[in-house]
Amino acid sequence: TRISRFCSLLLSRMYKFPTTFRLVPNVARRASIIRFKSSSKLRRVLAEMPLDPKHIAEAQKQRLKLKQKVAKVSPGIVNLQVVGSGAAGSPASVYLFSDQTRYLFNCGEGTQRLAYEHKTKLSSLENIFMTRTCWERIGGLPGICLTMQDVGVPSVTLHGPPGLDELFKAMSRFVILKDMKVRAAECRAEDLFEDHVMTLKYVAIGREAGEGSANSDEDDEGEDTTVDDTDYYAYEKRKKSEPKAKLQTASAKQDWTKRHEESVMAYICKLKHRFGQLSLEKCVEKGVPAGPLLGQLKNGNDVTLPDGKVVKSSDVRGPNDPGPVFIFIDIPSEAYLSDLEAKNEAFVPYQGTATDESDQAMYVVHFTPLEVMRTERYRTFLN
């Protein structure tokens, strides 16, 4: 280059070197220095990296303290967010969250990624509700449970149709959750899930006997289907002889590749009422001093004044704001429509003919496929 030629010419005139002298940078030496610096920095980072995840225990303690603090406080704002729309390559999942806790309805594969993209916090998620036990609804459970464990969630409860706990136990072979407890709730029709945010009712919808699912493959009646019954984890049992593959016909053993879901689950959620606005004028009339007693009255708790007088929260607050109703329905095929029509009475109190206007469903989230929603029987149910 011109600069190197100028430097060589200048040095040749100063020190009487030949004009063919060129400045060649010591590339090898510079590369070796950079390599040494980078390797030493990497070794320092690895040496200072903590081996035990101590932050998980600290985050769990903070989460439990916060949960006890807000357990008696009614939620202020409740939002319903669509995490996945169910389009091609995207799961169908809905996130219901308040200023205290979170609820996730369905967790298909990719829900964790979408939650990260939408900046949805998972540290307050404690309940996951599944409408079905197929991979399209539960495929994201392993990833989202590992993320929840890392952010300090102490425990999570799974709600869904029968068999959900068995499927998650099967995942425990490759999903290691040492710092978080996972349990499956018993979702019976007579049971209710209730906390300080909402009351949830389970509605189990069964499949009509003798009819297959629309999403499953057609059965080949003329051919015998063979099932590979090889125990691929037999080496863990330290058996002396290797297991041999046993081929059985479908008539002798069930083919799990064509398993049908016996039932699906629908949910009717009603949020707790929000306490009315606190009237300071009424508090002054009752003789309530300024301080923490006002906060207890605002949260719906009765207080006792220093002189022994009891002040009821209902006497110093305005009328309560009733909570809205949300319904989640997932009908995978027409084989479930008969039982849906038979259990229509569970949805009648929340339709347009409800006696109380606050009981009318504000939103109905349909996870049902489009081909089922277009059927005449499903349209009749909607009307």
> 33-47 pLDDT, tens per residue?
444 445 677 777 766
Would you tell me the crossing angle of helices 141-150 and 164-171 to the nearest 10 degrees?
70
What pLDDT score was predicted for residue 27?
Answer: 44
3-state secondary structure of 204: strand
Give me the tens of pLDDT residue by residue for the chain, a chain 383 residues long: 555 555 555 555 544 444 444 444 444 444 444 444 456 777 777 666 655 566 666 776 776 666 666 666 666 778 889 999 888 888 999 999 887 788 999 999 999 889 888 888 888 888 999 999 998 999 999 889 888 888 888 889 999 998 888 887 787 777 878 888 888 898 888 789 998 888 999 999 999 876 544 444 444 444 444 555 555 555 555 544 444 444 444 444 444 444 567 899 999 999 888 777 888 888 888 888 888 888 888 777 888 888 888 888 888 888 878 888 999 999 999 999 999 999 988 998 888 777 777 788 888 999 999 999 999 999 998 87
Q: How far apart are CA 130 and CA 185, in angstroms?
A: 11
How many H helices and E strands in the chain?
Answer: 12, 15
Residue type, 86: G
> 92-133 pLDDT, tens per residue?
999 998 877 889 999 999 998 898 888 888 888 889 999 999
Sign of the torsion angle spanned by Cα atoms 48, 52, 57, 59: positive
What pLDDT score was predicted for residue 53?
Answer: 61
3-state secondary structure of 115: helix
The Cα angle at residue 151 between residues 148 and 156, in degrees rounded to 5: 35
Q: How far apart are CA 310 and CA 120, in angstroms?
A: 43
Closest alpha carbon to 151 in 177, 123, 190: 123
What pLDDT score was predicted for residue 215?
Answer: 45
What pLDDT score was predicted for residue 313?
Answer: 84
What pLDDT score was predicted for residue 236?
Answer: 54
In angstroms, the Cα distances linking 131 to 26, 93, 104, 182, 353 are 67, 10, 11, 18, 26
Write down how long the chain is.
383
Q: Would you state the structure tokens that stand for residue 346, as one six-digit string?
A: 């569970």
DSSP state of 323: P
What pLDDT score was predicted for residue 131?
Answer: 95
Q: Would you state the structure tokens that stand for residue 200, as one six-digit string?
A: 């949830």
Q: How far apart are CA 375 and CA 214, in angstroms?
A: 13
Q: Would you state the structure tokens that stand for residue 332, as one six-digit string?
A: 């995978």
What pLDDT score was predicted for residue 171?
Answer: 78
Residue type, 137: R
Q: How far apart are CA 79 and CA 121, in angstroms?
A: 13
What pLDDT score was predicted for residue 190?
Answer: 77
What pLDDT score was predicted for residue 79?
Answer: 86
What residues have CB less than 8 Å from 331, skipping those under 6 apart?
Answer: 205, 264, 337, 340, 368, 372, 378
What pLDDT score was predicted for residue 195?
Answer: 87
Q: How far apart are CA 181 and CA 37, in angstroms?
A: 44
What pLDDT score was predicted for residue 104?
Answer: 94
